Amino acid sequence: MKTVYDFTVKDKKGEDVSLGEYKGKVLLIVNTATGCGFTPHYEPLEAMYRDLRDKGFEILDFPCNQFANQAPGSDEEIHSFCQLKYGTEFPQFAKIEVNGDNADPLFAYLATEKPFTGFGKGLKITLLKKYSDMNNKQFGDKAYIRWNFTKFLVDRDGVVLERFEPTADMADVRKAVEKLLG
């Protein structure tokens, strides 16, 4: 059975990193952007990381510029922004594409394991759906991720358990992580 440990990604310096290095850890894999309305998610993500990393928790951050060009900087500029503005310490990888023919295989896999089921309800969510639909038309059946800050929760065996859209309450994300950590 395939798991996230079967994938190799690039770190922010362009070096290969096997996700096998994270075997035995609970992972939250996130596609991010520095200029998005959801960018403040970095704050609760970093708080969760600081509180739970000693229990075997890792956040893997993958910047992506495919949603309204909200991550336009270089890998180094994005990393500096995150450290200066939010004090992030969790691993940040090279900027990737998460949709289309050039989608990173990891994200194609994650989204296949846990497909999009909706953003929820409300006016903000209706607007997000509208922009998401317009943006993702260009990717057709390869529109794996609907917007920035989609999060995938992975257990200690590398199995994808849950998908949290950017509209999910971060307190609910944290509860799911804590429950998995035991």
Rounded to 10 deg, the angle between the 75-86 and 42-52 helix axes is 80
Quick check: 34 and 81 in contact, CB under 8 A?
yes
Each residue of 68-93: b (16+ CB within 10 Å) or e? bebbebebeebbebbeeebebebbbb
Secondary structure in 3-state letters for 81-112: HHHHHHCCCCCEECCECCCCCCCCHHHHHHHH
Domains, the chain, in order of start with CATH, read 4-181 (3.40.30.10)
Percent of the chain clearing pLDDT 70 (strictly above): 100
How many other CB atoms are there within 10 angstroms of residue 20's CB atom? 13
Q: What is the mean pLDDT of residues 141-165?
A: 96
Task: Using alpha carbons, list the distances in angstroms from residue 153 to 15, 43, 102, 135, 172.
Answer: 24, 18, 23, 25, 12
How many whole angstroms separate alpha carbon 159 and alpha carbon 136?
26
Structure confidence by residue, pLDDT tens digits, 61-97: 999 999 989 998 898 999 999 999 999 999 999 999 9
Task: Using alpha carbons, list the distances in angstroms from residue 119 to 33, 40, 126, 131.
Answer: 18, 18, 8, 12
Is the pTM value of this prediction over 0.85? Answer: yes
Structure confidence by residue, pLDDT tens digits, 106-139: 999 999 999 999 998 887 788 889 889 988 898 9
Question: Which residues are known to be catalytic?
Answer: 36
Mean model confidence pLDDT for the chain: 95
